[in-house]
Amino acid sequence: MNADPAELQKFSDLAHRWWDPNSEFKPLHDINPLRLDWIERTAGLAGKKVLDVGCGGGLLSEGMAARGATVTGIDLSEKALGVARLHLLETGRQAEYRLIAAEALADEQPGAFDIVTCLEMLEHVPDPAQTIAACARLVKPGGQVFFSTLNRNPKSYLLAVLGAEYVLKMLPKGTHDYAKFIRPSELARWARASDLEPAELIGMRYNPLTKRYSLGTDTGVNYLVRTVKNA
């Protein structure tokens, strides 16, 4: 199975804090509106069948459901999925959450989704190319797959690891393994090998003075990629 037990345990231990905007997941709460708006703007969510791979506690999944999508969220952390299901009871929104790997779901439902999202996950799995290939199998021809991850270079090590985890203490120490960061060229190569054509590359940056995130052209640390499945 394409999962790191230590990574799963790490996020399972924190699962009960997923929806606390002042917890270790504060960065996800801060960037979620940006990610949602970007997906909405480029793909349109209303009426679409969407899969969120590595959904965790359901932050993005529930956001997409609120915008009219029919959402399935999958993860390999039962604790995180339990939190996601509980939060649905609080909000009254609808989404389906399943404990299943992307590869297994691709065998079960190939080409079943209009949109697939896989955000902030590739840097946490042993074989990101395999995850990308599974996402490609899950989306229908002409559908779109969205990825986000961390670039691998000295700047990202300085800001995402040393800065975020040790200086600003925005994230728990050990959240990220720099060796697992992925260059945009690598992600693009793996996508094309799986019949996904990269269509857009944008960056996300954090301003420590204003404590705000923004999307733009700087892909040096965090970046997002939109791909289209070849027909």
- The per-residue pLDDT for range 6-18, each reduced to its tens digit, is 766 866 777 678 8
Give the Cα separation of 200 and 39 in Å (integer). 11
Quick check: 162 pLDDT over 70?
A: no
Percent of the chain with pLDDT over 70: 87
Give the Cα separation of 102 and 25 in Å (integer). 23
pLDDT at res. 198: 97
If you average pLDDT over residues 128-142, what whole number do you get?
98
Of 51 and 218, which is predicted with more confidence?
A: 51
- The per-residue pLDDT for range 173-213, each reduced to its tens digit, is 556 666 788 999 999 999 999 999 999 999 988 787 787 88
- The per-residue pLDDT for range 39-49, each reduced to its tens digit, is 999 999 999 99
pTM for the model stands at 0.89
How many CB atoms are closer than 10 A to CB 59? 23
Looking at the DSSP bridge assignments, the partners of residue 39 are none
Percent of the chain with pLDDT over 90: 65
If you average pLDDT over residues 112-133, what whole number do you get?
95
Give the Cα separation of 181 and 176 in Å (integer). 8
Phi/psi of residue 54, each to 5°?
Answer: 75, 50
Of 164 and 83, which is predicted with more confidence?
A: 83
pLDDT at res. 168: 46
